[in-house]
Amino acid sequence: MNDLPNDSDFSCKQCMEGRDLSFDFTMAFQPIIQCSSKQVFGYEALVRGLQNESALSVISQVTEDNRYRFDQLCRIKAIALASKLNITSMVSINFLPNAVYRPERCIRTTLEAANQYNFPLRQIMFEFTEGEQVQDHQHIQHIIQYYRNLGFKTAIDDFGAGYSGLNRLADFQTDIVKLDMSLIRNIDKDAVRQVIVKHCV
């Protein structure tokens, strides 16, 4: 049974504009390990179907009409479940870089969720993936800076797998860069990958 909030539980008008979702989902938490200490640094919140269906099965239902609401619900559900599980480390939440929104208005939903579930803002990290081509770099820069000013950490996910590469790294300057597994796989045998990763960290 899914007891996480749904899209009727939060009603910030600016943050909830758009078509109702025709599907529900939940979140799973994947540990993020700090290699130097071999300790859990935090958890990445990953979407899953209510019957543990894959992230792809959920994301495939996201459209231009509902992507904004989906983005907001991902945040709310991640915070709610992290609080329920008493997670005390960082929780990394993906956001859709091309969702049309104004962060100074629509972050309210995230702040309300953190307040309602008593989850510290300092434990929230927002990350975006290279898998989606950014349409407005200045807008994303504004989002990242605004989030950082509020005390959130920011990250690029799957760096090296998608669009822009080093240009995106230089433009956005997030707190954390998560390297794609394609850069890490067999790195002990690949001098080129070793050089690339060395200059990324």
- More confident: 7 or 194: 194
Domains of the chain, start order: 13-198 (3.20.20.450)
Taking the whole predicted model, whether its pTM rises above 0.75 is answered as yes
Tokens at 10, concatenated: 């939060």
Tokens at 111, concatenated: 């702040």
In angstroms, what is the C-alpha Rg of the chain?
Answer: 17
Strands 26-34 vs 39-48: parallel, antiparallel or unpaired: antiparallel
**5 falls in which pLDDT band (50, 70, 90)?**
low
Are the CB atoms for 56 and 34 separated by under 8 Å? no
User: What is the mean predicted confidence (pLDDT) over 70-77?
Assistant: 90
**Distance between CA 13 and CA 17 in Å, rounded?**
6
Q: What pLDDT is attached to residue 58?
A: 95
**137 falls in which pLDDT band (50, 70, 90)?**
confident
Which of 64-68, 149-153, 171-175 tops mean pLDDT? 149-153
**Is it the case that residue 17 has pLDDT exceeding 50?**
no
DSSP single-letter state for residue 165: T
Q: Indicate the range of 10-14, 17-21, 169-173 predicted with least confidence.
A: 10-14
**33 falls in which pLDDT band (50, 70, 90)?**
confident
